[in-house]
Each structure stands twice: as structure tokens, then as C-alpha cells.
């Protein structure tokens, strides 16, 4: 090399500055650019965010039609591959429409120019600040109305400021949270809801009824004060209960309904009536069976003449006409 008018750079010239950690200002700028993108673009369809907009338990925003498209079964390979990418973005947080909440934004020019989407801005109905990357925003579950975090913190109310629906502080969801504290709180909130059989929208999760039945069967009996007899357990078998003289075979079905755990009065009465009718039917069947057995022992004179083979009780009593007597 050389003699060609070029130069060979040294390491000192190539590495002018050592690698440094980004400053606080650089981190804020990076986070702001990140928020600007996700405040305006749906991460599933990579299209502009347009109403109706939904949010998952992590506070991310999506177009509702993109979520519906993801939940529909895929037919070709392209749809399956795109769903795999969406599943990676969602992280298993969305398995149905119950896992998302429709976010309702207040538009600044909704009354003046509702068709002009470029000039529409999402604002807080209390502070009238524009909701976006520069202002922290939250929404309330289950109604979905959005406010600035400052307005909700200052008002200190347990009801929505727009629809007057009650809520608890744990159901205030930050939109696109950036701190690890907020993300950890949302994760712990979903764990508590899953233990209760609820989804992000506070609706019952599929299959939660079966879990409740199992939990109810596994619950222990109520505590009985000292000096009082313990009530009979609902899961005890009929053979384990002692037979007393007061109890009879024809006990009323109402007691059976109480022992079986039927608490509703109308259901208990209906069950008692059905059991009583069933007992009557069984008695009638027994009486009919006895009467048929008695009738089968004897036959009438007309049947004796016609029948060739008579039963053992009537056999030998009819004498043929041509028979000889000794």
C-alpha cells in the first residue's frame, strides 16, 4: 500500500471517543420516540390507530379490527405466520375479546369537525391536555374512559368522572407504561384476577364456573360455636348417618333436599314434589306386580275350557266329557 494518494488510519484516529452509556436526555428522547410510534401505530397491523381502539392488560393500544383478525382461525400459511408474529407481540395476554377493553378517547374537535381525522386530538376531559407521548394517560376498567394521570390523582374519586361508574384504584391502567414499577403492578394485577377466574375486562374467564364448583366442594364447613352440635356434612353418605326411631322410610323429600344442599326454596319444593311423585309411582308398581302375581295363580272357567295347558293350581279340576268314572 502507499504511493496511491491514500492513507492508513491508525486506531487512535478510528476510535476517537470511547463508548459511553446514554445520558438521561438521550434516554428520554428514545422513550419519547418509542411512545410517539405506539401512540399513532397499531403494532399488530402496522397501520394508523383509529377508533375503535382496544387495550390489553399491559396498557398497549391496538386497532380492534386487528385483534379480531388475530382471533379468527387462519387458513393459509401467510395468515398463520402473521398470527405467530402477533402472538409474540401479545405475549399470550389476548386469547379472546374478554382480555381487552375498548378505550374511549375524548376528541377535541369531535363536535366541530368530526370528519377531519388529521386535526383530531385526544384530550383529557378534565384538564383538556392532549393525551400522547408528552402526557401520561390512564384508562379505567371496565368502562374504558381515558384521563390524564394528573387528573385522576388530583380528583381522588372512586367513580368515573364521565359515566359515574365505580372502580377500585387497582383498575386504573396506565397507557403504554414505561417504568418497571407500573409494569410489575399490571402483572401482579392479572395474577390476582386469574386466581379469581376473571379477565382483564373483569368478566368471567371461560371455564371459571367449573373452578368455582370445585372450590365450593373443597371448602370446609362453617365454624360451629361451642356447646352446639355439629351440622351433618353435605358430602356424608346415607349409610354413615345413624338410624333413629323418628326417621322412617317414608320421610318427606323436603328433608332430602335440605340434606343435599339445595338452598333455593323454589328448587327445594320442586325437588320434593318430584321425589314424592316418584315414590307414589314405585308404590303403584309394587301393588300392580302383587295383583298380577295373584291373578296368574287362578284362571277363569272360560279360559280353562279353551286353554290346553292349564296352570298347576287348576290342573286336575276339569274333567273331560268322554272320560269314564270308576
Domain boundaries of the chain, sorted by first residue: 26-195, 253-297
Instruction: Please determine, for residue 198, whether its predicted confidence score (pLDDT) is greater than 50.
Output: yes
Nearest-angstrom CA–CA distance, 26 and 33: 11
What does R_g of the chain's alpha carbons equal in angstroms?
A: 40
At 24 the pLDDT is: 81
Average pLDDT score, the chain: 75
From 90, 12, 106, 98, select the one nearest 44 (Cα to Cα). 90
At 13 the pLDDT is: 72
Nearest-angstrom CA–CA distance, 279 and 282: 5
For residues 278-285, give the mean pLDDT: 83
Look up cell 356424608; give the residue. Answer: 236
Vertex 69 angle, CA 64 and 70, to 5°: 100
Vertex 94 angle, CA 92 and 99, to 5°: 135
Q: How many CA atoms lie within 13 A of 213 on its CB side?
A: 4
Rounded to a whole number of angstroms, the distance between the first and last alpha carbons of the chain is 154
- The three cell numbers of residue 98 are 374478554
DSSP state of 99: G
Look up cell 291373578; give the residue. Answer: 295
CB 183 within 8 A of CB 177: yes
Least confident of 17-21, 74-78, 208-212: 208-212
Q: Using a pLDDT cut of 90, give the percent of the chain over it.
A: 32
Q: Could you tell me the pLDDT band of residue 27, with boundaries at 50, 70 and 90?
A: confident
Task: Note the pLDDT tens digit of each residue in 209-268.
Answer: 655 555 555 544 444 444 444 444 444 444 444 444 444 444 444 444 444 445 566 667
Q: What share of the chain is helix, strand, coil (3-state, %, to 5)?
A: 40, 10, 50
Where helices occur in the chain by DSSP H, the ranges are 11-14, 24-40, 64-71, 77-90, 149-155, 180-195, 208-218, 253-259, 265-297, 301-306
DSSP state of 159: B
Q: Could you tell me the pLDDT band of residue 161, with boundaries at 50, 70 and 90?
A: confident
pTM over 0.85: no
At 100 the pLDDT is: 94
Nearest-angstrom CA–CA distance, 212 and 207: 9
Amino acid at each position: 500500500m502507499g504511493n496511491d494518494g491514500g492513507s492508513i488510519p491508525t486506531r487512535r484516529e478510528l476510535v476517537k471517543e470511547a463508548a459511553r452509556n446514554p445520558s438521561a436526555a438521550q434516554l428520554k428522547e428514545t422513550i419519547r420516540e418509542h411512545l410517539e410510534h405506539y401512540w399513532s401505530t397499531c403494532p399488530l397491523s402496522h397501520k394508523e390507530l383509529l377508533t375503535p381502539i382496544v387495550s390489553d392488560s399491559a396498557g398497549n393500544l391496538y386497532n380492534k379490527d386487528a385483534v379480531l383478525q388475530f382471533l379468527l382461525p387462519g387458513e393459509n400459511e401467510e395468515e398463520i405466520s402473521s398470527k405467530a408474529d402477533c402472538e409474540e407481540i401479545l405475549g399470550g395476554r389476548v386469547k379472546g375479546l374478554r382480555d381487552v377493553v375498548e378505550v374511549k378517547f375524548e376528541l377535541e374537535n369531535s363536535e366541530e369537525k368530526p370528519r377531519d381525522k388529521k386535526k383530531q386530538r385526544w384530550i383529557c376531559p378534565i384538564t383538556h391536555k392532549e393525551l400522547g407521548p408528552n402526557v401520561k394517560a390512564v384508562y379505567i376498567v371496565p368502562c374504558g374512559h381515558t384521563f390524564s394521570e394528573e387528573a385522576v390523582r388530583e380528583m381522588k374519586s372512586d367513580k368515573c368522572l364521565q359515566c359515574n361508574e365505580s372502580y377500585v384504584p387497582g383498575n386504573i391502567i396506565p397507557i403504554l407504561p414505561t417504568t418497571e414499577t407500573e409494569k410489575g403492578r399490571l402483572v401482579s394485577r392479572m395474577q390476582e384476577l386469574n386466581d379469581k377466574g376473571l379477565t382483564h375486562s373483569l368478566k368471567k374467564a371461560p371455564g371459571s364456573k367449573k373452578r368455582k364448583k370445585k372450590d365450593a366442594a373443597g371448602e370446609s364447613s362453617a365454624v360451629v360455636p361451642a356447646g352446639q352440635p355439629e351440622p351433618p356434612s353435605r358430602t356424608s353418605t346415607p349409610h354413615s348417618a345413624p338410624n333413629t326411631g323418628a326417621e322412617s322410610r317414608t320421610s318427606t323429600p323436603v328433608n332430602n333436599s335440605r340434606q343435599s344442599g339445595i338452598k333455593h326454596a323454589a328448587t327445594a319444593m320442586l325437588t320434593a314434589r318430584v321425589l314424592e311423585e316418584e315414590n307414589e309411582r314405585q308404590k303403584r308398581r309394587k301393588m300392580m306386580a302383587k295383583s298380577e302375581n295373584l291373578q296368574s295363580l287362578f284362571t277363569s272357567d272360560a279360559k280353562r275350557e279353551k286353554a290346553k295347558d292349564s296352570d298347576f293350581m287348576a290342573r286336575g279340576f276339569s274333567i273331560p266329557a268322554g272320560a269314564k268314572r270308576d
